[in-house]
Structure 1
């Protein structure tokens, strides 16, 4: 994680199966890192193989606290399907879109930056 130009960047390491326990750990780490401040967020999920339903539900609701908007960076049909499912079925509580181009994702996030 790092913050640049008012945007929080999160790059997930390779995770075979992201379950709710891992999701809760990730959110705790993010909140500690940001000192509970709100940010628009670029999330790189390219290395995640699978999200459990419980993890998706958690990220879409409680796990979104402190996130103004999410740009999800994808690069394959598999990550596109996961991100699309997350956006359409889990319905995150904040503006969320998926992108294949990092520059376009950052441009979209700028509108949410303080």
Structure 2
């Protein structure tokens, strides 16, 4: 697949300025099945090209443990770095916990400011 914009039931993603933008849809609960579909679709969309990824998780209500573990490892396939955009204290607390416990395999940071996340990711283009 080679689309300018790809969308599934969980998220939409596109590439701009050599960064893959990944935006979760609102009010989602992500379980292992959802995480596996998301990663599968993203990898297919990328067509073997590795990108830094801007990941907007503000729409997610909850990631269960199995999905967090899966995304920490398999979610890093074909990624150079990940900047995660959060906006709520709960999102930030869950994401911070995820980063500490799950140990993503590529440089991964949390941001409340989109421009700071993009600045971080520009180091990996």
- Figure out how many residues of one structure are paired with residues of the other and give that number: 113
Q: Which runs of 4+ in 1 moved over 6 A?
A: none
Gaps of 5+ in 2: 1-12
Between 1 and 2, higher relative CO (CA 8 Å, sep ≥ 6) is seen in 1
Closer, same or farther in 2 for the Cα pair 1:16/1:2, shift >3 Å?
closer
2:19 matched to 1:11? no
Instruction: State whether residues 24 and 59 of structure 2, in contact with CA within 8 Å, keep that contact through their aligned partners in structure 1.
Output: yes
Which residue of structure 2 aligns with residue 90 of structure 1?
Answer: 102
Q: TM-score, normalised by structure 1?
A: 0.95
Alpha-carbon distance between aligned partners in 2 of 1:31 and 1:112, rounded to the nearest angstrom: 18
Higher normalized strand content (fraction of residues): 2
Gaps of 5+ in 1: none
CA-atom RMSD, angstroms?
Answer: 0.9
Map 1:1-114 to 2 at 5 A.
1-113=13-125
Alpha-carbon distance between aligned partners in 1 of 2:56 and 2:94, rounded to the nearest angstrom: 13
Q: CA deviation at 1:15?
A: 4.1
